[in-house]
Structure 1
Amino acid sequence: MTSGAQVLRYAVGGLGLALIGLGAWLVVAEPDPLGVLLWLAGALVLHDGILAPLVFGVGLLLVGRRQRGLWRGALLVAGCVILIALPLLVRPGAPPNPSALPLPYGRNLAIVLAGVAAAAGAVYLVRRGRDRLRRVRPQRDPGADARAED
């Protein structure tokens, strides 16, 4: 007898195989399938050769740091912003529609990244100040006064 988890596993596996087949069919149907395969190979090399080791290295640098979740979040937001803006920055030639990129994306990307860094730094400083105040002025336990009178 098959369990519900096993049925779900086979259904998801079948869906995955169907999507792989669709992707392969779409690559073959392209006018330049070799160009698509070359792009996919480049994306694989970029991810596995540069991006993944870089993320791993930054993760190792953050181990044991205070507020590492804050820094991970800031790096995640910065990475997403870069991934969105990068294709527009590295595209060769003028855009087909001049109104699509009317502003300097490089400068604006730097401004957004500086804003992310400033926001993360401000949150870090606020949290650090709050922690410092807690150490200087510990929270009083209201039950301690009642126990002291006993």
Structure 2
Amino acid sequence: MTTTQVLRYTVGAIGVALTGLGAWLVAVEPDPWGVLVWLAGAVVLHDGILAPLVLAVGLLLVARSQRGLWRGALIVAGSVVLVTLPLLVRPGEPPNASALPLPYARNLVIVLAAVAVATLAVSLVRRGRQPVRRWRERRQRRTATGD
């Protein structure tokens, strides 16, 4: 048995054990159907809405050379929104006064703006380097051909 096979079986066994642990935790939950509905909703939200939306916007926004950068920015922005949104849309007062000690809505907008500005800056720097790269390639071809 190779090292890769041992690693593959070990990771697979850990995955099966964690799946069993998760199933056991759901089974001992006072309301297991509520947890299962929540999990199904999370899968539908992620696989049916979020992931295709991020990919579609990535295809529409940018040229082929910049697609990965913008997709990464959208994944970061979506993750930040998914972490923050439950705190923002929860009805009523938080059970713990320290749960929302800061203005999360304002901070979410600031973080999303920072992600957008950083992504735009990297995109512009990459775009600015392309003419220099093309010029170097042409110069190298001329030197190689003796022009």
Q: Same fold (TM over 0.5)?
A: yes
Helix, strand or coil for the counterpart of 1:81?
A: helix
Deviations 1:61-118 (A, max 9, x none): 2574343333233223212221221221222221112232123322221121112112
Q: Which has the larger radius of gyration?
A: 1
Residue number in structure 2 paired with 1:58: 57
- The answer on whether the counterparts of 2:73 and 2:116 sit within 8 Å (CA) in structure 1 is yes
Partner of 1:73, secondary structure, is helix
Higher helix share: 2
Return the letter of the residue paired with 1:17: V
Say if 2:73 and 2:119, in contact at 8 Å, map to a contact too: yes
Which consecutive unaligned segments of at least 5 residues does structure 2 have?
Answer: none
| Aligned Cα root-mean-square deviation (Å) | 2.8
Percent identity over the alignment? 71
Count of aligned residue pairs for this structure pair: 141
Q: Distance in 1 between matches of 2:89 and 2:30?
A: 23
Distance in 1 (CA, whole Å) between partners of 2:19 and 2:41 is 19
Q: TM-score, normalised by structure 1?
A: 0.74
Distance 1:41 1:108 in 2: 30
Q: Which residue of structure 1 lines up, in the alignment, with residue 113 of structure 2?
A: 114
| Higher RCO (CA 8 Å, separation ≥ 6 residues) | 1
Report what 2:7 is aligned to. 8
Flag structure 1 segments of 5+ consecutive residues without an equivalent: none
